[in-house]
Amino acid sequence: MKSFTDYLWFETKKRKEIVHVTPLVQDLVHRSGITEGLCLVSAMHITSSIFVNDHESGLHEDILSWVEKLAPVLPDYKHHETGEDNGDAHLKRLLCGHQVTIPVTQGSLDLGPWEQLFYGEWDGQRRKRVVVKVIGE
């Protein structure tokens, strides 16, 4: 069994942003030399997400509106008593998930025809990290 570990860094210009990361992850899979296995992609900061959905800008606007409706920015989260102001971002991560596992088949990410991988930033404008771990052979 082989394993490969690397980290991607993101620093978004906006506080909330959806970033397409499929090519970055596919590149790491190629570099791993693993052709059959699993590739875990996981956001290491607790106010960001990783998810697989459509690469379509209208839908991304819909997602940004939707997470705001279900996990809104509010002044009175208990978490803010620590001095933080990002309670909503922690809930947005919980809502959208923070990791996906992608099958690696014949050396490539085994995704459906419209599946693309995204980093969802809910409290950005600072450097944040994502771990990519591939295991297989």
Residues that bind a second copy (CB under 8 A): 1, 3, 5, 36-38, 40, 42-46, 51-54, 56-59, 61-63, 66, 70-71, 77-82, 87, 90-91, 93-103, 105, 110-115, 129, 131, 133, 135-137
Distance CA 87, CA 75 (A): 9
Least Cβ distance, residue 13 to a second copy (angstroms)? 20
The distance of Cα 110 from the centroid of its chain, to the nearest Å, equals: 17
Angle between helices 87-96 and 57-70 (to 10 degrees): 120
Find the DSSP H helices in the chain.
22-32, 57-70, 87-96
Least Cβ distance, residue 15 to a second copy (angstroms)? 18
Q: Which is nearer to a second copy, 15 or 55 (CB)?
A: 55
Which 3 state secondary structure label does DSSP give 115?
coil
Q: Which is nearer to a second copy, 15 or 131 (CB)?
A: 131
